[in-house]
Amino acid sequence: MSRASLEEVAPGISKYSLYGVMLVHSSLEQARAVMTDYPLYAKMVPYVDRVVSQPWDKTWNLQGGIFKWKLNSNVFFEERGPAWVHYRIVSGHFTGLQGDLYFEPQGEKGTTVYFNGNLLGSKWPPRFIIERGAEIVMSYTGKKMRDFIESQKKIEPAPHRESAGGKGEPKNDETTPKPRSHL
């Protein structure tokens, strides 16, 4: 699901807001590992042409777009917790836009990934492009990212070992139930 809106908040000033939500059938660790591997975006998403690290200012340069609407922005990502990444565009297109990427485990269903951002400004591309175009791009991008994440080898937790005084691991025979990897 995605949404983008441009609303006038004062004469000549509009607020651009966007968000996207997706359910990924993988662990939080797997989803986060892929979603924070920023150079991978150029491989996952056809709208991203290039992602380059800029170590001198700890930003990432993202380039891409659709049709004649090409963007080039420097983005600072700040990991604020194991399930939260804050970002801010520090230069280029949409300078000042900031938002968050959240990961929320959903048990056996996987992980919900939530993305948001907003920016106040006075000069914008055409409303249709910045709203509907952004929603189409975010929906398509979310699907491509979800497909990529789900196609990766699953990160399995370390096997549980009992202490030396325990009974050991159960025998792996025909009578031992085996969990399903999917329904």
Domains of the chain by residue range: 2-37+78-151
Q: Which helix (H) or strand (E) holds 44?
A: helix 41-44
pLDDT of residue 169: 43
pTM of the predicted protein model:
0.77
pLDDT of residue 174: 52
pLDDT of residue 160: 42
pLDDT of residue 11: 95
Distance between CA atoms of residues 24 and 27, nearest Å: 8
- Collect the ranges in the chain with pLDDT lower than 50: 157-173, 175, 183
pLDDT of residue 158: 43
pLDDT of residue 54: 87
pLDDT of residue 164: 41
Query: Cβ–Cβ contacts within 10 Å for residue 147, how many?
Result: 11
Specify the CATH number of the domain 2-37+78-151. 3.30.530.20
Beta strand segments in the chain, E = 2-10, 13-24, 48-54, 59-66, 69-81, 84-92, 98-105, 111-121
- One-letter identity of residue 14: S
